Every structure is written in structure tokens, then in C-alpha cells.
Amino acid sequence: MIGQPPRLGVGEFVGDAHAAVAGDAPREQLRAYADAAFKLYMESQCTGLEFLELGEAVGRLGLDPTVVQATLVDVGGYRGRSDWERLFLALAVRSQDAAPCFEIGTAAGNTTVQLASNTGQVVYTLDLADAADAQPTLTRLGSDDVVRASRVRAEFIRRNPRTNIVEMTGDSAAFDFTPFLGRIGLFFVDGAHSLEYVRHDSANAARCCRDDGLIVWDDFTTTREVTQFVMDLRRSGAEVFGLRGTRLAFSRDIGRLRGILA
């Protein structure tokens, strides 16, 4: 049976944080404490949205959490995504293995390879091209531009090629999603994090998903705009859940999402 990820109480976190500061901890460790504190704060603001433990979340995907299997790819020391998130995404795409998967936000391609390793279907992944003239058409956050400048697009895919990955480049706000309408099982939204982009990308995700499909959002409770958007969906009546201990939110309420985002 799937266990639960370790979680610190607020008191434990504060005590450890002070100890780390007093001991002149490395910058990375302090950043980790700050990120954890911000996430705890953001989760506390998400009243009305249910956070599920991994076993409960897997059940919501229609899988038996006592017998699930998944492939976790060796990421060679890359820590951009926790194993808990990688496991959930592997199980999420397995729960939708009868249909293709679509990802907005290839970045280095770690998540792309993880998804492709857990499905026999095609994984389509879309990202802004590297060319200097490939500029977004909607408002982006400054942090999005920093991330884009710091990474080598699809480098992990180059090192770990999968025959079922189809890479595409373009601005998701201008991309033609027509060939994918009603075809996608799992749609992973991890593009630009401004409110404009996450709403636009989510609307296309709902249109592309099959009626029994699944949408997963990254950076929930770690980015204010994504958190605000997901909470707005919940307040509008959509059934949306957070995965406790991670930055993921998900929904299978595709019909209602289409109506809200139309």
C-alpha cells in the first residue's frame, strides 16, 4: 500500500528553520525552508479545497492504490520535482493509458520522459522555441523568463529518448489545438504561470480532454497566480483537489471545467 509523505508541523518547521539559520546553513537549505514555509502558508489559504493524501488521490484516478505499478526514471541528481510528484504523474498517465497525453511546458523534459515511460500512448509536449524572436503574446511573470533563460530546452529528452514523445514548439496562446480536441486523456498544465496564461492553457486543456479525461496543474500553492486560478475554479463549482505535500492539483470534472472556462 502507498504510504504517506513525511510532513512537518508548523512548530517543527519554525524550530528547524531557526536552527538552520543559527548554524549558517547553505543557501540551498535556507531556500528549501523558505519554500516549505511559503507552501504551508498558501495551503492554509486554500479553504474549501480538499487536499488528498497520495493513496486517496490514486483512488480518485480510478486505480487501486494497493496494487499500482509505476516506472520512475533516474533523473541523475535533478531535483526539480519530488519523487512523490513523479509517482503521482506516473500513475495519472497510467490511469489514462487509452488516450494520448499533452503537456504544456516541456522545459528540460524531465516530466515529459517520466510521462512517456508510463504510457504506450503518444506524449505531445509544447514549449516556446529557443529563438530570441519567439516571444509570448500574453503577460508572463518575470520568474518564467528567468527559468526559460536558465534551462536547456528538452535536454533530458535528448539524453533519454522515447519513441512516443512528440516535441512541438510555439506559444501556447497562439497554438492551434484543433487536432487534439476531445482526444487527450491526461493534460498537464505547466507553461507560463501568469493568470492570463494559466487560464488560457486550462481552457484549451478542458477542450482537448476526453469527457473522462484528467487535468493536472503544476505549481499549485507555490505560485500565487496558479493557486488563485485553481481556487477560482473550485469556487465556481468544479471538483478540484490538491495533492498534499506536493505542488500538484488535479480535476476529472471536465464537463464543468469546459463550462466555466468557455
pLDDT tens sequence across 181-215 = 999 999 999 999 999 999 999 999 999 999 999 99
Q: How many helices (H) and strands (E) does the chain have?
A: 10, 8
- What letter represents residue 145's amino acid? D
Lowest mean per-residue pLDDT among 40-44, 104-108, 245-249, 250-254: 40-44
Q: How far apart are CA 33 and CA 27, in angstroms?
A: 10
- Each domain of the chain, given as residue ranges in start order, spans 8-44, 53-261
Look over the chain and give the mean of its residue pLDDT values, rounded to a whole number.
Answer: 85
Q: Per CATH, the architecture of 53-261 is what?
A: 3-Layer(aba) Sandwich (3.40)
Q: What pTM was estimated for this model as a whole?
A: 0.85
pLDDT, tens digit, 9 for 90 and up, residues 172-185: 999 999 999 999 99
Is the pLDDT at 242 greater than 50? The verdict is yes
The SS3 call for residue 3 is coil
